């Protein structure tokens, strides 16, 4: 099936009209707006208009500068097909402006109205088991259905015509939290078309997928099943790539509706969900102006290093500053036990976001709806419309953002070390874990934690990101690797870079097939070593060597040295017989650079010692030395000025000595040589000019 003419044309228009100017170090492209914003999700359509001014006055008192509106208001904007009503939204935006609050407009396509899905049931998404979604929740639409694309394009275009040059609208959020794919007829047809374009002939697909296995051979593309699990590994990987391309085209469909009618200063983004891997974020973000994400704590207790990693992940989508489009005001409603953040941690999280490159922090939500599925979610106002306790902590954040914003403007985080996040590799491992405990994100975090703690700055990047300027690059588990990737990595080492490969690197090629060479595939000769065999572990295995004595668990690879230039760093102790006395980590120097392969999932202490040695060899120094454990150091700079953000994530007071006198930006004015941080305390400092 070919793309409909209207859709193909809209994609072409999007490529012609371009995108908004980039946002590198200020929240918006509008110079009259504050450089650092605090915001909230506001739903005026859910409340009497007589209440709006009181809400906005409370926002202004809390130093809230921006609201996101509209992303779930389709039935209010278009109450019947082709009948648009934006008058209420005009009034809401104008009233917000009177309170010095600007607006991000959300296109409402995550929750289509009942008139649409009832009259056109083909626009509803089909689950993998064949059941069609129903009205009454959200994300019930088919992201591939041409008719749904047309309705989405039309509502976005009407909004852009109406609001595209409103000076109080600073940006657009497309949809809300892209997530669920469709397995219905339109998705099947488009997947088959996508495969035919990629492979050309069914014979080529059969060859590359090795479909002779289990008699999977296909006679034509229409025979290929559409499933997300329990299939040929190549099919599963291509399905994820297809889903990523569809979400990209889904974005382009709305971008092509908005951009021709919008002020070029208005950015276009969407809100993402941290480690969510339903699609390739780098693919989707390639057509967006900035990245934005929804910062919610996944567990009962705030893990600042894991949360910081998700900020760094989001910054890496566009390699520039980003927005936090939603975050929790103390608690959520969807965890098994919705424990609150400790008093002070809401402020702690806000400043951590800024320290990692956010220029806006918005809270979800301002006030809960009178009814609906999220009644127990945290808010800034109670059901009676008066502030709840966390309102005052967010008010403090807003006051501090206003004070420090002018100095922070123009600055961004910078790092000399990078961690590679690769969706193909994460998917490939998840399809065939081999060890139930091998979670690719947990492995990523095992590498990230000591890097962030010791280097105090980490970029999480795509494998396609240029590596120039990084002294150390770590690939925790680059499972899927092409020859072109290998060539880039070898060039990086030859130019003096230090490269670390983690376990399971180089097992697969682009088709999710085992490499014809042993691991690490096309890097094996360059490493001067290889993986002889891999083993899933259910007990600890002792390791010892250059990184001290420790243990490996979950995964271990038996390495072999094949070059006299390659040195053994770590060796396994007695375990299953196969690993006894065998190399666990090896390294080779190439020119001024090094390539190191770690074949096991080491314990945290061993990872910390390994990281310290690698950073030392690469010449990476921390921003501050002798920092107490649990105190996070963030630096933003612009080449001229340097801003230091210190966050005490501990429940005890901590003392931090500074390398030079610095000026306080949010506390009492003055120059200090050291700071005493109370529990969950924050200091924002600028180096003396």
CB-CB contact of 99 with 56 (8 Å): yes
Chain centroid, CA 491 distance in Å: 28
Segment holding 570, helix H or strand E: strand 566-572
- Inter-axis angle of helices 5-17 and 146-163, nearest 10: 40
Residue 332: both structure tokens together: 């959520």
Burial 593-618 (b: 16+ CB within 10 A, else e): bbbbbbbbbbeeebbbbbbeebbeeb
Burial 628-660 (b: 16+ CB within 10 A, else e): eebbbbbbbbeeeebbbbbbbbbeeebebebee
Verify whether residue 180 is a known catalytic residue.
no
Report d(CA 462, CA 460) in Å as an integer. Answer: 7
CB-CB contact of 362 with 323 (8 Å): yes
Verify whether residue 393 is a known catalytic residue.
no
Q: 177, 281, 306, 393: which one is catalytic?
A: 177
Q: Give the three-state DSSP class for 168.
A: coil
Q: 78, 157, 281, 326: which one is catalytic?
A: 326
Beta strands in 487-565 (DSSP E): 498-501, 529-536, 541-545, 550-561
**CA distance readout (Å), 159 to 255, 291, 443:** 12, 22, 43
Name every residue whose Cβ is closer than 8 Å to that of residue 624 and which is 6 or more positions away in sequence: 456, 633, 644, 656, 658, 659
Segment holding 608, helix H or strand E: helix 604-618
Chain centroid, CA 535 distance in Å: 31
Burial 67-79 (b: 16+ CB within 10 A, else e): bbbbbbbbbbbbe
CB-CB contact of 363 with 394 (8 Å): yes
DSSP for 189-235 reads: HHHHHHHHHHHSSHHHHHHHHTTTGGG---SSGGGS---SSSS-HHH
Known catalytic residues are 177, 326
């Amino acid at each position: 099936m070919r793309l409909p003419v209207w859709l193909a044309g809209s994609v072409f228009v999007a490529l012609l009209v371009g995108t908004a100017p980039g946002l590198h170090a200020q929240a918006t492209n509008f110079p009259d707006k504050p450089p650092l914003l605090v915001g909230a999700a506001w739903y005026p359509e859910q409340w009497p208009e007589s209440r709006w001014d009181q809400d906005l006055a409370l926002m202004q008192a809390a130093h809230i500068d921006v609201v996101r509106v509209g992303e779930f208001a389709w039935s209010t904007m278009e109450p019947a097909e082709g009948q648009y009503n934006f008058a209420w939204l005009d009034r809401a935006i104008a009233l917000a402006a009177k309170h010095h609050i600007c607006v991000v407009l959300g296109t409402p396509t995550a929750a289509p109205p009942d008139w649409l899905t009832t009259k056109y049931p083909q626009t509803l998404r089909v689950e993998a088991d064949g059941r069609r979604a129903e009205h009454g929740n959200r994300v019930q639409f088919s992201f591939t259905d041409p008719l749904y694309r047309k309705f989405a394009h039309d509502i976005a275009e009407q909004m852009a015509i109406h609001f595209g040059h409103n000076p109080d609208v600073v940006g657009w959020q497309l949809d809300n939290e892209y997530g669920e794919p469709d397995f219905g007829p339109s998705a099947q047809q488009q997947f088959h078309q996508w495969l035919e374009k990629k492979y050309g002939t069914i014979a080529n697909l059969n060859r590359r997928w090795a479909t002779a296995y289990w008699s999977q051979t296909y006679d034509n593309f229409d025979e290929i099943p559409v499933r997300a699990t329990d299939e040929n590994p190549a099919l599963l990987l291509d399905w994820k790539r297809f889903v990523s391309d569809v979400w990209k085209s889904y974005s382009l469909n709305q971008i092509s509706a908005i951009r021709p009618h919008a002020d070029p200063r208005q950015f276009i983004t969407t809100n993402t969900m941290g480690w969510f891997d339903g699609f390739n974020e780098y693919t989707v973000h390639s057509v967006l102006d900035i990245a934005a994400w929804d910062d919610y704590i996944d567990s009962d207790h705030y893990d600042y290093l894991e949360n910081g990693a998700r900020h760094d992940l989001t910054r890496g989508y566009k390699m520039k500053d980003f927005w936090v489009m939603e975050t929790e005001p103390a608690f959520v409603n969807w965890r098994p036990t919705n424990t609150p953040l400790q008093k002070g941690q809401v402020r702690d999280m806000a400043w951590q976001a800024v320290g990692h490159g956010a220029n806006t922090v918005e809270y979800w939500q301002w006030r809960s709806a009178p009814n609906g599925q999220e009644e127990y979610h945290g808010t800034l106002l109670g059901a009676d419309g008066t502030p709840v306790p966390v309102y005052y902590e967010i008010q403090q954040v807003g006051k501090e953002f206003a004070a420090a914003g002018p100095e922070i403007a123009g600055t961004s985080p910078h790092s000399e070390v990078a961690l590679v996040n690769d969706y193909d590799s994460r998917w490939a491992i998840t399809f065939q874990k081999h060890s139930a405990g091998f979670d690719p994100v947990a492995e990523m975090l095992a590498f990230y934690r000591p890097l962030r703690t010791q280097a105090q700055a980490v970029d999480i990047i795509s494998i396609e990101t240029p590596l120039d300027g990084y002294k150390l690059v770590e690939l925790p588990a680059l499972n899927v690797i092409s020859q072109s990737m290998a060539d880039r990595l070898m060039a990086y080492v030859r130019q003096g870079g230090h490269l670390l490969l983690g376990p399971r690197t180089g097992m697969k090629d682009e088709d999710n097939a085992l490499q014809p060479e042993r691991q690490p595939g096309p890097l094996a000769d360059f490493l001067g070593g290889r993986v002889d065999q891999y083993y899933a572990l259910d007990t600890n295995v002792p390791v010892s060597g250059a990184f001290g004595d420790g243990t490996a668990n979950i995964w271990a690879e038996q390495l072999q040295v094949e070059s006299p230039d390659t040195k053994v760093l770590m060796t396994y102790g007695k375990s299953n017989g196969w690993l006894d006395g065998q190399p666990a980590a090896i390294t080779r120097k190439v020119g001024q650079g090094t390539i190191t392969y770690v074949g096991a999932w080491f314990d945290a202490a061993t990872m910390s010692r390994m990281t310290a040695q690698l950073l030392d060899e690469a010449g990476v120094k921390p921003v501050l030395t002798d920092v107490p454990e649990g105190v996070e150091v963030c630096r933003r700079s612009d080449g001229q000025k340097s801003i230091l953000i210190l966050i005490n994530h501990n429940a005890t007071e901590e003392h931090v000595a500074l390398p030079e006198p610095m000026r306080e930006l949010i506390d009492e004015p003055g120059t200090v040589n050291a700071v005493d941080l109370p529990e969950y305390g924050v200091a924002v400092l600028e180096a003396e000019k």
